Amino acid sequence: MKAIRFKQYGEPAKALEVQELPIPEPGEGEARVRILASPVNPSDLLFVRGHYAGVQPHFPSPVGFEGVGVVDALGPQVRHLVPGQRVAVINGQGGNWAEYAVLPALFLPPVPDDIPDEQVATFFINPASAILMLRHILAVPQGEWLLQSAAGSELGRMIIRMAKRDGVRTLNVVRRREAVAELEQLGADAVIVSTEGPIDEQVRRIVGPQGVKYAIDPVVGETGTQIFQALGDDGRMLVYGSLTGEPIRVGADPRFILAGRRILEVFWLGYWFPRLDETARQQLIQGVVTLMREGILMTSAVRRFSLGEIGAAVAYAESVGRQEKALLVPGKH
């Protein structure tokens, strides 16, 4: 089979290469799936660069954390799957950028036929993160403000739509003035441009001097620092990424950190999902299905690349102002 791997950390366009490997065999409790499609996510590229703390690669390392596939073969003690069944492929160790992958059956939830392949390919990381962060960890009440950076990302757009549905007001940070109108059309209550002044000052001009109670940020660095400074006395902030690789300076102003009770937390889906019991997992998956059917947690559009086009796929995934999600399709020639 063809599979994308990397032998050492580096820039993805140079480090990633297509290799020919034996088709793997499933062991006890595992299933083999034929991969239909797998997205190029920021977490995949951080992993290749060596900046993804959650998973340590064993070189030469596979890559690709989520996708959609068809069950191809079953190992012993697998009873809830059947060959030919379409499943979401939640690959916590990476390996979906390939024609086949073997995973524990637990991480291969079946999905309804009415959800298209390109949506199932992006079924888990962004949609599940949106639900867990907003509804469970922060549990943002109706009418409250939620501040988020990287609001123009796929996850950012999902959060805007879901928050609107749940009665939560969103205050969204973008880097480009051109993105403002699009997010407002999606349902954003307010959009600020980070290059037009300090984020915390812009936030307080909108919500008042008290700041916001809830915030999420995947950028960190100066953006994350200013998001934290926009919190009110009892504010909570979730950091769910590290796009800049730079630190948040929570102690930049001693008067600020010694007043109130602001909480800075980390969210990593790879930590949360395995710790959910079976009932909570099923509820989360059903929640994703329901909100996808409503058009809330849908990926807006995709651009398909073959495995051999990995360099072009990576370049497109990181291009400024892109409008589509890069999707690797092993069957594309």
Q: What is the pLDDT of residue 121?
A: 95
Count up the domains in the chain and report the number. 2
Mean pLDDT, range 53-62, rounded to an integer: 86
pLDDT grade for 165, boundaries at 50, 70 and 90: very high
27 and 65 both lie in a single domain:
yes
Q: Give domain status of residue 185, yes or no.
A: yes
Q: Give domain status of residue 275, yes or no.
A: no
Flag whether pLDDT at 326 surpasses 90.
yes
Q: Specify the higher pLDDT residue, 24 or 244.
A: 24
* CATH number, position 202: 3.40.50.720
158 and 255 both lie in a single domain:
yes
Q: What are phi and psi of 199, to 5 degrees?
A: -60, -45
110 and 148 both lie in a single domain:
no
88 and 172 both lie in a single domain:
no
Chain mean pLDDT for the chain: 92
Q: Specify the higher pLDDT residue, 324 or 138.
A: 138
Q: What is the pLDDT of residue 100?
A: 98
Domain that holds residue 222: 126-268
pLDDT grade for 256, boundaries at 50, 70 and 90: low
pLDDT grade for 157, boundaries at 50, 70 and 90: very high
Closest CA to 102 of 201, 34, 171, 15: 34
93 and 199 both lie in a single domain:
no
Q: What is the pLDDT of residue 140?
A: 97
The whole-model pTM stands at 0.90
Mean pLDDT, range 210-239, rounded to an integer: 93
d(CA 40, CA 327): 6
* 189 close to 170: Cβ distance less than 8 angstroms: yes
d(CA 322, CA 210): 35
117 and 232 both lie in a single domain:
no
108 and 139 both lie in a single domain:
no
Q: DSSP per residue over 74-97, as a string?
A: E-TT--S--TT-EEEEE-TT---S
244 and 142 both lie in a single domain:
yes
Low-confidence winner among 39-48, 113-122, 188-197, 250-259 (lowest mean pLDDT): 250-259
d(CA 40, CA 329): 11
Q: Give domain status of residue 286, yes or no.
A: no
Flag whether pLDDT at 218 surpasses 80.
yes
Mean pLDDT, range 251-280, rounded to an integer: 81
Flag whether pLDDT at 74 surpasses 90.
yes
Give the model confidence (pLDDT) of 113-138 as tens digits.
999 999 999 989 999 999 999 999 99
Q: What is the pLDDT of residue 251?
A: 66
* 195 close to 214: Cβ distance less than 8 angstroms: no
d(CA 310, CA 46): 15
209 and 250 both lie in a single domain:
yes
β-bridge mates for residue 92, sequence order: none
Question: Which two tokens mark 50?
Answer: 């060596």
70 and 163 both lie in a single domain:
no
Q: What is the pLDDT of residue 241?
A: 84
Q: What is the pLDDT of residue 255?
A: 65
Question: Which two tokens mark 67?
Answer: 């996708």
- Give burial (CB, 10 Å; 0-12/13-18/19+) of 12: buried
Buried/exposed 221-259: b ≥16 CB within 10 Å, e otherwise: bbbbbbbbbbbbeebbbbbbbbbeeeebebeeeeeeeee
* 160 close to 187: Cβ distance less than 8 angstroms: yes
Q: Give domain status of residue 167, yes or no.
A: yes
